[in-house]
A and B are shown apart, each in its own frame.
Chain A
Amino acid sequence: MKALKKVIHNLDPKFEKGGKWEKMYPLYETLSTFLFTPKHVTKKGAHIRDGVDLKRTMFMVIIALVPCLLFGIYNTGHWHYELQSYLNPEQYAGYSDYLTGFGDKVVYGLIQVLPLVIVSYAAGLGAEFIFGFIRGHGLHEGFLVSGLLIPLTMPADVPLWMVAVATVFAVVIGKEVFGGTGMNILNVALTARAFLFFAYPTAMSGDKVWKSGTKEVMAENGGLMPDGSSGATALGDLATFVGDSPSVAGEALSASASNGALLDKFQAAYDPIHAFIGMIPGSVGETSTLAVLIGAGILLFTGVASWRIILSFFAGGFVFGLLMNGISANAYMDMPAFYHLIIGGFAFGAVFMATDPVTASQTQYGKLWYGFLGGGLAVLIRVLNPAYPEGVMLAILFMNVMAPLIDHYVVQANIKRRQKRFKTA
C-alpha cells in the first residue's frame, strides 16, 4: 500500500502545472484520488476536513445499491424464463417457480443487465471526461452513483443505444450545463429516465417491455402473448382499474365487477409478500422493496442518506394512500395504502433518488416537507392519472424543482421566529 502511495506521489510533479504531462492532469487526479484520499489541506480558517470525501461517500451508495442490482439480475432472468415456460411448457417445466432454474436465470440476467451498466458508465464517464478536460478538473464523483442508478431504473430490454443517448443527455443537459456535480437542479439518473420515458415511450412503458425477451416470444407466437401470460406490471394492471376494461395479469375482467372483487383478484396475482421481496416484473432494480431496505440500512448506518427524507417519503405515500381509500371512487383508490409502498419504484425512489444530497432540500424541516409531499405526489400521479402508471419519477423531479422554494420558506420562518424571540426578550 505504502509503496503504491509513494509511486503515485512521485508522479505528482509531472502532472502539476508546468509538468511534463500537464494536460493529462484531470485523468491523473481522478485515478489517484480514487485510490487514496487527496492530500489537500485546509490552509485558512478553522475548517475541518473529513477523510471521507465525496468519492468515498459515493462509494457507500454504490455498495448500498448492490443488493438491488443482484436481485434485479435474478429477477430479470426469472421473468424471462417464466414467459418462456408458457411458450415451451415441456422444455421449461417448473420455471415459473421462483427458484427453479437458478443458474439459467442468473446467467440470462447477467447477459441482459451487465451491458446496461457498462454502457451507462461508458457513456456518462465519457461525457464527464470531455467536460473535465475542457474545464481542467478531474472526473467528478457524482456520476459513479448515477451510472449505476440509470440502468437500475430501466426495463432490462431497453436498447443499449437509448441508454447511451439518455445518459449523455442527462449528464450534459441535466448537470454540466449548470456547472457540473453539485450544481444540478434535477436528479441526473431520473433525468435520464424521464428523457427516455418521453422520447421512446414504446421502449419504456406499456406491457411489452417488463419481461425480458417479450418481443422474441411474441414473434415466435405469431405476434401474440402466449396464453395465460401477461407482460404488464402491477401498476400497469392497476391503471386499468381506472379505465373501462379492467384486467389483472392479462385476464380481462368484466367492467361491472365490484371494486372488492377486482381487488381480490389483484391481491391474488400480486401477493404482498411477493411484491415486498420483489418477485414482480418491473424495471431492473426497483422491484424488491427488501433489497432497497437493506440498501437504506447501509446508507443510514454510514450517515450518507437523510432518514428524514426516507421516512417522510414513505409517510407521505401512506397518508395519501389512506386519503385515496377515503375517496374510494374506483377499485384503484380502494387499494390498501401499504401496497403503494411496495409496488413499482416507490421504495427505490424514496431511498436512492429522493435522498440525492444535491437536489433535495437542505434544511431539516425542509427535508420533512420535501419527502412528505414527494411521496404524496407520487401516489396522486399513480392513482389519478392512468396515463402515467408510475408516478415516483415525475414526483421526485417535481420536488427537485420545488426544493429551493421549500428551503426558502423554512429559512424565512426561522428568521421570523428568532426575531420574535429577540423582541420579546
Chain B
Amino acid sequence: MSEKPISREESFGYDRKTIDYIRNAAAHGLYEIRGMGAKRKLPNFDDLVFLGASLSRYALEGYREKCSTKTILGTRYAKKPIELDIPITIAGMSFGSLSANVKEALGRAATEVGTSTTTGDGGMTPEERQSSKTLVYQCLPSRYGFNPDDVRRADAIEVVIGQGAKPGGGGMLLGQKVSARVAGMRTLPEGIDQRSACRHPDWTGPDDLAIKIQELREMTDWEKPIYVKVGATRTFNDVKLAVHAGADVVVVDGMQGGTAATQTCFIEHIGIPTLAAVRQAVDALEDLDMKGKVQLIVSGGIRTGPDVAKALAMGADAVAIGQGVLIALGCNHDSYFQNGEHRPASADYSALGTAPGFCHHCHTGKCPVGITTQDAMLEQRLTPEFGAKHLKNYLKTLNMELTTIARACGKQNVHHLEREDLVALTLEAAAMAKVPLAGTSWIPGVGNI
C-alpha cells in the first residue's frame, strides 16, 4: 500500500512569507524594522529601452566625438550654483547609519569623479567636509546636529521633507548605533533607540516652507542652492509646491530608495516607484514652465549606467544613489578587505540570520563588512582608501555607460537624451512613464482609447 503524498499546495494569500510575518507579529507584538529598500518586484527602469540611432538618427562615434556630462544645479536663485562633472551624485546618508570611514570614502570618491556627496540625519562630520569638494547639507525634521556654522560651510542645502523608503515617517537609529560620538552630535543619551520627528519643528506647510527657504537664503546671503527633497507619493503636486516655495532643485526619491532603518510596512507599502515619480515630477515642472529653470534630481533604485541614462532621458537633470554606492563599497559581499587580505564574512552574516546577497540588517549596527556600523572593530573592515577606490570605479563605470548610450542615441551631451529616445517593454511601464509600448505608438492612459 503506497503512502499518501504530502500536500505542498501553498496558499497565495497565506504563503510562507505571510505566515512568517504573522508568527513574528504574534511573538513580539512589534513591527519589523530593517534597512535597505523595497524588495518587492516593482516596475523600474529595466522596463524601458532606448531607441538607438540608425537611419533616422545619426550616432556619434565613440572614439572621436565627445559627449558632455557637465551638470549645473541651482541656477534659479543661488549666486553660486553647483557645478558637477557628472550627473551622478551621492544621496544623503547619515553618519550614524554609516561609519565615519564610509562617510570619508564617499567624499573622496565623489571629489575624484567631480560630483557631490550629501550629509544625513545627525549633521556634518569634519571627515566628510574635508574629503568632499562639493557637499550638500541636509536640513531634516529632527535637526540633529544642525548648526549655522555647517550651513555656512556647505555648498548647498537640502531641506528634506521625506524619503522614498518612508514618506510620512520619521527616521530612526537603534541604540546599537547610537555611540558616544553619534549621541554627542545628536544631543541624545548614548545607546537609546533614537526616533526622529516626521515633521519639521518650525514650519507646517508649503507657505511656511517658502519662508523657511527664504531664511536659509538670507542666512547664506543668497549664495547657496536650496534643494527640496520629497519622498515619491503625490509627486506631481509635491513638486509644484516645492517649486512654488522657491526651491532651486527638487529631489524626488522613489519607493525603491533605501534607509538605514525603518518599518518594513513603510518600505514595502508607502510611496510610488521611481519610474512613475520621475514622470510626474517632470510633468509638474513642464506644467509650470520651470523645466530647466528648477533642476530635478531623481533617486531610489538607480543602480546602473542605463538607469542613469533613462532617468535623464525622462527629464531628470541628475540622479542620486545610495544603495548602489554601499554595494560598491562592499555591502552584501561575502568578504571584506583588511590588512592586505580578503577575509570571509559569511559567519557574521549567519550570526545575523542572513547571508551575503540577502542582508538588510543595517539597523543592527553589526554590518559584517563594516559599512553600516558604529562598532569600533567592525568599522575597521572598510578603510576610506579601499572604499573610495571601488566607489570611484563604480561611478566611472556608470558615467561611461551613460555616455555610451547617449552617443548611440546621437547626443553630444547626456542632458540631450529625451523621452522620444525611450520605449517601454511592459504596459505598466508605458503607463507610468508615459512612453509608447515598444513597437507601437500606444501610451496607455494617454489620448483616445
| A and B are partners in one complex rather than unrelated chains | no
